[in-house]
Structure formats: C-alpha cells, structure tokens
Amino acid sequence: MIHGGEDVRPRPNRTFLFLQGLASPFFRRLGRSLKRKGYGVERINLNFGDRLFWNIPGSVAYRGRFEDWRGFLSNFMDERGVTDLVLFGDGRPYHRVAIATAQLRGVGVHVFEEGYFRPNWITMEAGGVNGFSSLPRDPETIRRLAAELGEPERPRPIHGDMKTRSLWDIVYNSANTFFPYLYPHYRRYRPHHPFVEYAGWIGRIIRGKAEARRTAAVESALKADKAPYFLLPLQLDSDYQIRLHSPFSAMSEVVDFVARSFAAHAPADAKLIVKLHPLDNGLVNRRRQTHVTAERTGLRQRLQYIDGGQGPALIDGAAGVIVVNSTMGTLAIERGRPTIAIGQAIYDLPGLTHQGTLESFWTAPTPPDRSFVAAFRRVVAHRTQLNGGFYSAEAVDIAVANAMRRLIEIAPVRATRPVALGWEGERDFSDAASPVPGE
C-alpha cells in the first residue's frame, strides 16, 4: 500500500540482494527458491550477461560509473531493507565495495566460490573466503570444534559438464560484447577481452595431443627414475587468490622464485615439475617461460613442465608439493604429502603445512598430521562447504537445495568491523589494470 508517497507495505523478515554470480543458472534458481519461501529477493545487474542469467522480474540495472557505485548501493540497501548480500567471489572491485558497504550496515554477507575441497563441493562462507575467511586459525580451537561436530554427510557425486560450462560462458560474454551500450560504464574484471581468451583456448586445443604425449613421457620417466621430485601446480594469473592473497602478481614470478630456491638448496638429484593449471587460457607460453627459467637457474633438465597429467598420482609420488594457495594444497595435505604454501591459505597452519622456510622444505619437508587433517576438514566442511556444483542441471539442483538449507537455518554472521577495501575498492579501473577473480 502507498501512503503519503511512500511504500508502507510490510517487508519480509529477510531480504536477499544478489550481485554477480557465475555464468550459470545457480543464482537464478536460488533466488526463485527464496522467493517461493516468502523471502525478499533483489538483484542488481551490472551488465547484460548478468541480466540474461538472472531472468527474474524486478531486477535493477546499474548503469552508472564505478566511482558512484558505493553511493548507489548504500541507498539501495537502505531503501529495500536488505538484510543479506549474496555474491560469487569476494575479490571483484564491485564486490569489494559491496561487502564493505554491507558490513557497515550489519548486513550478512554470503560469499560463494568453488569448493575448498574438490570435487563434489562448493564454498559458501560468511564475510569472505581464503584470505578474508572467518575460519579459526588456532589449531587447538579447530581440534576443539571438530570434537563437537559430527562427521559431514557423504556428498553425492558431482559430475561437471565442460561443454555446458563453455556454452554458458560464451553466451554471457557475447551478451556483454555485442550489447555494451546497455551498460555503458561497466568495466570487465578480466585482463583480456573474452574473445582473446577464446583464441588462446583454441591454441591449447590444437596443441593438446602434442602436450599429452610430452606429459606422458615425463610421467613415465618419473616412475622409472628413483630420484625424488617436487611438484609445483600453477594457478591462474587472473586468480584473485594470487592478486590479493599472495606476494606475486603472475605465475612467472612464482616459477622463478621457487626455481631459484630449488637450484640453491634442493638435493642435486631432485627434480622440480611445473604443472599447468587445467583452466589456463594459453595466452602465455608457459612451456617457453619454464625453459627460460631452467636455463637461467642452471637447472636445465631438472626443471620440467607438463600440461596435463593426473594430479592425485603426481601428488602421491612427490617428495613435496609447493603451492601459493591453490586447492591442490588441500588435496596434497589430505593425501599425506608434505606441502608448503607461499601465499595466504586457509590451510597454512602448523600440523598441516611445512612452517619452515622454502629453503628448508627441499631437504626436510614436514608431513601433515593426519589427525589434525581430519579435524580441519570437519570444521571447514561444516562451516563453509556445500555438496553441489555450478555446471550441470543435477549439480545445480543439489547445490540450491543445500544452499537454501544453510541460508535459512543458519543466521547470517554480522561483521563487527568492515573489511579493508584496499586499492581496488576506491578507484576506477581499466580493462588492462583490473584485478581478476579466480573462476
């Protein structure tokens, strides 16, 4: 009912504001489920792709400039009575501002991400993930909490659909490319134009068979050779876990840093294996970069590169695993392999990872404490993990059902203080300079 020019209709007890998600129907399905339960659901679209993948009546388009985003969002939250903010990824510039704005107002923040544990899981965490995580950092607290929790339910197997994922990604990016005038001030958070990335992927596909043969040859040699090897799985240059939660700006820096330490301190017969991330877009020639580093450090054939291979098998055979903050670190820890994290990671704790220097890791790597690994997994699973996925109909069904249960049954965690925005929250940004999330 409108009275005196104001809308005085009773508001629902909770109103969920959705911002950007993945190129997936997950957020749309979750929003519809919340509406059916009688909750308020709002959505702000930042580009035409957002609009296509939401497709629920009543969404609002933000067509203003980035520097005006904070003021617009503040007014929107107040006018709509927003109690909960839902978004995917806490590193995008629009999202960094939104999280800080929400926390100033006591609005609960629910951040979705790919799972800390893979496969079969997605992450839904209060306030932020990884470097912004609210998970306890004290091992004794984790052990105490784990003792109070039951074992997590066995997850239903989740099978991804790469063809569907690729199609949805193309639809999303094509919408933004061909209809930019609908949202004239929107700025992409990726450093490369999507079609440039697709060209890189085509190149990777063309090189796929040759790379598979090279990888198989390296794996065979590792099995035949009794010498130890260390595994360095790469992440993506575009990953916010690199840009926000590590001292590195690109994976070339990581390889160079690790290789120089390895050359100076590792056993003379040991090898270092650099493994390409399966979602790398192929725009950087990692093989050539690794070869240059091998020559510059004097490692030569002791530093090898692979594009492919079975991650678990490579981990099982490794003397140790070096990560920045990848989920490969979680996998290595769970498989009992000594692991060192050289960036901020939720699992970089005594009893899980090597706490000494990288130099000491090559000769005396610390294996994880299996009892603490189990306790850590139990706490993380109960606090942040949901069975489900984003890229197939069945996976989305499971994820929506579990997210609904978590959102409704668990009261949102209110922040006691706003997060630090950092540089990316305050300035306008260009395509070339924008930090990029890990998708």
pLDDT tens for 201-244 read 899 999 999 999 999 999 999 999 889 999 999 999 888 888 88
Checking if the pLDDT of 432 tops 60, the result is no
147-151, 210-214, 364-368, 378-382: least confidently modelled range: 147-151
224, amino acid identity: A
Checking if the pLDDT of 5 tops 90, the result is no
Give the fold, CATH level 3, of 12-163+385-425: Rossmann fold (3.40.50)
The one-character DSSP state at 149 is S
* pLDDT (0 to 100) of residue 12: 76
Q: Where in the sequence of the chain do the CATH 3.40.50.720 domains occur?
A: 12-163+385-425
* pLDDT (0 to 100) of residue 184: 95
pLDDT tens for 370-426 read 999 999 999 999 999 999 999 999 999 999 999 999 999 865 555 444 444 443 333
Encode 376-402 in three state secondary structure. Answer: HHHHHHHHHEEECCCCCHHHHHHHHHH
* pLDDT (0 to 100) of residue 240: 83
* pLDDT (0 to 100) of residue 266: 98
* pLDDT (0 to 100) of residue 348: 97
Model confidence band, residue 427 (pLDDT cutoffs 50, 70, 90): very low
3-state DSSP assignment of residue 110: strand
Give the fold, CATH level 3, of 206-348: Rossmann fold (3.40.50)
Q: Are 389 and 24 in contact (CB under 8 A)?
A: no
Q: Which residue has the tokens 């504001």?
A: 17
Determine the Cα–Cα distance for residues 161 and 371; give it in Å rounded to an integer: 35
Q: For residues 438 and 58, which has the higher predicted lDDT (pLDDT)?
A: 58
